Amino acid sequence: MTVKIGVIGCGAIGLEHIKRITNTLSGGKIVAVNDINENNAKKIIADLHLDAKFYADGHELIRSADVDAVLVTCWGPAHKEFVLEAVKQKKYVFCEKPLATTADDCLEIVEEEMKQKKHLVQVGFMRRFDEGYVALKKTIDEGQIGAPLILHAAHRNPAVDEKYTTDMAINDTMIHEIDVLHWLLDDEYISAQVIYPRKTGNASSHLADPQIVLVETKKGIRIDVEIFVNCKYGYDIKCEVVGEDGIAYLPEPATVQTRQKAALNRPILMDWKQRFIKAYDYEIQAFINNINKGQKLDGPTSWDGYAAALTADVCVQAQQNPGKILPIKMKDRPDFYK
Ligand code: NAI
Ligand code: ISE
């Protein structure tokens, strides 16, 4: 069977996903495309020779009998309306992060999904599909480093544009750590604190960069995440778990090491699209395969989308109250999502 997919939002990541479904993955076909930028969407259909129809209205795309599953890859504030509509229509939906921009909006999706009594939503937290994080989780789960005590993480982007604001360091960037780290540690967050180091001269005047977020978990693990989005030298993701019997590190991406002109060199990637390319392939292939086999979706759920949004809300409040430790009060996970 081929899953007939409609895409809402054909910007940077929407286009990447359209290309991977068309050229790299199996079992799925792009049959419908929507974007408020009609010219761009139509150009993508033409340039990639897609056998797909353009819909001026995203809701009409979702309701179309030609569409089995929906990819929501437009900008964050529009995610909720399209995900809710897809769930109401009992259609599978893959939504790029964030699931919605507020925790309350995420809960509305959670409630609608539970009403339908079926897991229909997968959220695009692709790091759970990254081979490095999967290997790191296995190391921790097997008890190789004993109980985790401390986790040091860094999320560095070479540069961001003028439109990138201080809260985006949480909502757009650290949101990946927020999701992947509690999954990695099989734990929940209970508090957050933000501190600001000396500001880099490479950031725009309105942006606080870098930032450090300190998070505590239910088990008492202390996590520090450095977010530095104008680090210049590369796209660099670090994760080091300190356990009672040893330390485990997120593997570096495989790049060729050279010895040349009295120097030992290893290139560093510059772009997030390259760094997690396989993880994006795996998450969407899993989405397609599970639909095709009639299996439960196995990626991040709408509950994970809620947990991330709630944690991010508290981290943004912590940004506005530097140094203050703020509690994270999560609702109890419903049985449906256990
Ligand atoms: P983008 O700005 O390149 O593209 C967004 C597209 O959505 C544009 O083509 C815009 O015209 C369209 N759009 C906006 N409102 C719309 C609406 N109401 N209906 C239909 N189309 C609409 O943004 P980008 O980088 O592609 O990001 C899209 C989403 O993907 C964001 O939520 C972002 O956080 C997420 N993302 C996830 C990444 C990951 O690593 N998982 C990486 C990059 C983005
Ligand atoms: C972007 O939206 C992403 O999701 C990337 O993974 C992240 O590194 C970047 O900071 C975000 O802007």
* Residue-wise pLDDT tens digits, 199-234: 999 999 999 999 999 999 999 999 999 999 999 999
Ligand 2 mean position, distance from CA 298 (Å): 23
pLDDT band at 172 (very low <50, low <70, confident <90, very high): very high
Edge-to-edge strand list for the sheet holding 189-195: 247-249, 236-243, 148-156, 222-228, 211-217, 189-195, 326-327
Ligand 1 mean position, distance from CA 16 (Å): 11
Predicted pLDDT at 304: 97
Mean pLDDT of 236-248: 98
SS3 249: strand
Percent of the chain with pLDDT strictly greater than 70: 100
- pLDDT exceeds cutoff 90 at 243: yes
Residues with CB under 6 A from ligand 2: 157, 172-173, 176, 229, 272
Ligand 2 mean position, distance from CA 263 (Å): 31
Give the nearest ligand 1 atom to 76 CA: 32
Ligand 2 mean position, distance from CA 164 (Å): 11
Give the nearest ligand 1 atom to 37 CA: 11
> Going by CA atoms, what residue is nearest to atom 9 of ligand 2?
173
Mean pLDDT of 149-176: 97
pLDDT band at 187 (very low <50, low <70, confident <90, very high): very high
Burial of 98 (0-12, 13-18, 19+ CB in 10 A): buried
Mean pLDDT score of the chain: 97
- pLDDT exceeds cutoff 90 at 336: yes
pLDDT band at 298 (very low <50, low <70, confident <90, very high): confident
This prediction has a pTM of 0.95
Predicted pLDDT at 225: 98
Give ∠ CA 190-192-193 in degrees, rounded to 5: 155
pLDDT band at 273 (very low <50, low <70, confident <90, very high): confident
Task: Determine if ligand 1 sits within 6 Å of the CB of residue 96.
Answer: yes
Residue-wise pLDDT for 311-330, tens only, equals 999 999 999 999 999 999 99
Mean pLDDT of 71-76: 96
CA distance 210 to 197: 7
